[in-house]
Chains A and B, each alone.
Chain A
Amino acid sequence: MSDVAAAALGFFLTVAILSYVLGDNVLFRIAAHLLIGVTAGYLAAVAWQSVLWPQLFGRMLNLMAWLDPALWIPLILVLLMIGRSTPRLSVLSSVPMAFLVGLAAAVAVGGALTGTLIPQVAATAVSLSPLRQSSGGVFFDLEGALSNLIILVGTVTTLAYFHFGARPRAGEAPARPLWVVPFARVGEIFLAVAFGALYAGALTASLTALIDRVVFVQQILERLLP
């Protein structure tokens, strides 16, 4: 019974969502609002169930836990954050947000430096020599060398494309420095290749999702139809 109800509900919701192809309609709006409500409700419940209760309010019942600064520090900050709507406490309500922003900024800076910038720059700075060494000796790898060269040129020119610094010129529109222009043009081609691959991947993923729904509806109809 629950399977039938689930199937019927899934069928109705799938049809309601796909009806958007015909234009905005009541069914689609109901389905969209239902999605928002379910998502928000699940989010709030998980936030309380998995984080706030076990790590904050549940621990407050334990007197020994009050010795842990990881309890009363976030508690104070939470109270300050909730007091944002109170005129008296609103002055201090920026302190928890400042704490969070400072923490996130430091984590982001540290992670970007150690996790992306250095490794990716190191990955670009590869040998362009076609001679490779392996346990079997030295061998000629032209394809590898060319690939490395293309990756190096592509990376540098793509970064050059994102150079938007321009000096104002009298009587003319601001433009890039002349020496950046050819690099930017080449970088534009590499960007087009990257975006083309992205587009193909997104289309593939969305087609897979559509297949899931179409097959589901097909199975429901096969059950219903003789």
Chain B
Amino acid sequence: MRIKASLIVAILTGAIMLLGYFLPGAFFASVRDVMLRSGMIIGTVALLLGVGNLLQVHLRKIREQRPGHLYSIFMVISLFSVFAVVVLFGPAHPYSVWVVSEIQRPLEIGLMGLLAVVLLLAGVRLLFRRQALGTLVFFLTAFLVLLGTAPLPFISLPFLEGLRNWIAQVPAVAGARGIILGVALGATATGLRVLLGFDQPYER
């Protein structure tokens, strides 16, 4: 394994951060503080580089007049306009809030609403394509939770609410806890591989 400067930096950085969990001294605390704030700035620059790449792609599309470049014009104009407004007035200014409330929010909520149609169609097709015990349990659970979540007209069935609560608190928690533990184990293993130098995702 070739020793590179980036590898040394990654391992050293990770070691110092992990030691902070066990050595709560002031020196390590200040070093960790500098590292964390530097990481925040680096992360923000990486975010800006991503936006820059997006802009570059669409500008090239406009310049070369590839199919769909008119949509890219919309994108570029809206990007620069919003950037100018937020930079000039601030993120919490009424103008910036107006952009989020009247443009971004309707669009994103509309997409979320479309998800309801897609989920219902997928649920209907699921029973047609795959009929297994797991599918039946899935369908039954969803059915009971929906019935227990929403109110019923003219009547009230506490039994349904109680059943829905029990499903959410016991079997669903068991399954979810298994998923969460599995994800945490995977994240730990992946992080240790990076910190020990076995994986180097920062190398090209």
Contact = CB atoms under 8 A, between A and B. Distances in A.
Interface of A: 2, 6, 9-10, 13-14, 16-18, 20-21, 29-52, 55-56, 69-70, 73-74, 77-78, 81-82, 92, 94-110, 112-114, 116-117, 120-121, 123-124, 147, 150-159, 161-162, 187-197, 199-207, 209-210, 212-214, 216
B119 A82 contact: no
A48 B17 contact: no
B187 A40 contact: no
A116 B186 CA distance: 12
B43 interface: yes
Contact of B170 (A21, A124, A150): A150
A109 B11 CA distance: 13
B171 A51 contact: no
Interface in B148-204: 149-150, 167-185, 187-188, 190-192, 194-195, 200-204
Nearest to A212: B109
Contacts of A29: 68, 71
Contact of B41 (A21, A38, A51): A51
Given A47-B47, A95-B5, A100-B39, A109 B18 contact: yes
Secondary structure of the A contact surface, majority rule: helix
A151 B191 CA distance: 28
Given A41-B81, A94-B202, 13 more contacts: A41-B82, A41-B83, A49-B90, A105-B190, A108-B190, A151-B174, A152-B174, A158-B179, A162-B178, A194-B171, A195-B138, A201-B145, A214-B113
B103 interface: yes
Interface in B3-62: 4-7, 9-18, 20-21, 33-49, 51, 54-55
Contact of A200 (B34, B41, B85, B142): B142
A92 B9 CA distance: 11
Contacts of A32: 71, 107
A41 B86 contact: yes
Given A35-B108, A193-B137, A210-B113, A49 B179 contact: no
A82 B202 CA distance: 15
Interface in B67-97: 68, 71-72, 74-83, 85-87, 90-91, 96
Nearest to B117: A21
B64 interface: no
Contacts of A33: 71-72, 74-75, 78
Contacts of A94: 4, 6, 202-204
Nearest to A55: B41
Nearest to B123: A199
A108 B137 CA distance: 34
A154 B191 contact: no
Given A37-B74, A203-B119, A116 B184 contact: yes
A36 B113 contact: no
Given A78-B41, A112-B187, A213-B109, A191 B82 contact: no
Given A13-B103, A155-B177, A103 B41 contact: no
Contacts of B141: 192-193, 195-197, 200
A13 B110 contact: yes
Given A34-B75, A100-B46, A202-B115, A74 B41 contact: yes
Contacts of A41: 78-83, 86
Contacts of B48: 44, 47-48, 52
A203 B146 contact: yes
B34 A69 contact: yes
